[in-house]
Structure 1
């Protein structure tokens, strides 16, 4: 009986593991350094440890094989705790979290100065940056794989540069055909 149980668990682990895909996360400083060698846009996941939708985004969207493969191929992916305590260097400035309280590490904490600088007002927020680490736009809230796909492809292909009005975005959105599952 134990042999069957262990074999079943190994098979289940293999199936689950083969479906999950890992995004190759780097720090913002690493992404900017990598951009100098091989220009790509940056996709930055701004999250907090206490945020339920952030955890859903990790589990349901960032572990989706098509999302992970597309991000790994076309972007530098940055994961940034918007209420964390790390020092981040960006745009020749050093950003910290002077209100960070270690006792609140897994609960609501002070907002990081970089999150304030990027005008993050909700978690999760996915911030897209161009090849020069300039902000394209923040995308607030939980996104399914197919919802995120629209933005991943729009920014990667620079289609956003041709969209000036809400009507133009609505037309782009209506014409978009998703290729991701999920």
Structure 2
């Protein structure tokens, strides 16, 4: 519906002027690198790849990258229904370095980051080694059970 259309328009750089309300509340519009957002259960590192991968190397953990935007309905659903489930956020916080890349404002830097990681749509969640090798990914909404299945496979292979 509407959110998908708006999301695609924004990804293509189409100006949606006219003051339309898009996607509801403005959760992370001014998210700075490394900022902590209290409403999230996962201990996200925001928009700071360098810190995330440095932490992954020093702690010998995999990096989980969530490509997200405040206007993306499926992204918000993933946050509120899956990543806020205790089993999911406890596993992520314990076994992974969680990095959230905010694409709420489509800048040249955001486009370049999406291109570098092969992101075609949101949400996209990648799992990478500390050295930047992609192990797996999922795209679109996944239930808490489906997310746990992916997390479980990755924690067994570490």
TM category (shorter chain) comes to 0.5 to 0.7
Kindly indicate whether the alpha-carbon contact (under 8 Å) linking 1:53 and 1:142 is maintained by their aligned counterparts in 2.
yes
> Normalized against structure 1, the TM-score is what?
0.59
Q: Is 1:40–2:61 an aligned residue pair?
A: yes
Q: Structure 1 residues 21 and 116, CA, compared in 2 at 3 Å: closer, same or farther?
A: closer
Tell me what 1:148 maps to: 147
Kindly indicate whether the alpha-carbon contact (under 8 Å) linking 1:44 and 1:78 is maintained by their aligned counterparts in 2.
yes
The alignment partner of 1:121 has SS state of: coil
The one of 36, 39, 42 aligned to 1:23: 42
> Normalized against structure 2, the TM-score is what?
0.67
Tell me what 1:169 maps to: none
Distance in 1 (alpha carbons) for counterparts of 2:136 and 2:143: 18
Kindly indicate whether the alpha-carbon contact (under 8 Å) linking 1:83 and 1:112 is maintained by their aligned counterparts in 2.
no
Aligned ranges 1:1-182 → 2 under 5 Å: 22-26=41-45, 27-82=48-103, 84=105, 97-98=107-108, 112-158=111-157
Considering fraction of residues, name the structure with more helix: 1
Query: What's the C-alpha RMSD, in Å, of the aligned pairs?
Result: 2.1
Q: CA deviation at 1:137?
A: 2.3
Distance in 1 (alpha carbons) for counterparts of 2:71 and 2:40: 23
- Encode CA deviations 1:123-179: one digit per residue, 9 max, x unaligned: 1011110132221122111011100111111122228xxxxxxxxxxxxxxxxxxxx
- Encode CA deviations 1:11-66: one digit per residue, 9 max, x unaligned: xxxxxxxxx97111113221111123211001111012211000000101111111
Distance in 1 (alpha carbons) for counterparts of 2:80 and 2:124: 15
Consecutive aligned runs of 4 or more in structure 1 exceeding 3 Å deviation: 82-85
Kindly indicate whether the alpha-carbon contact (under 8 Å) linking 1:82 and 1:114 is maintained by their aligned counterparts in 2.
no
Consecutive unaligned residues in structure 2, runs of 5 or more:
1-38
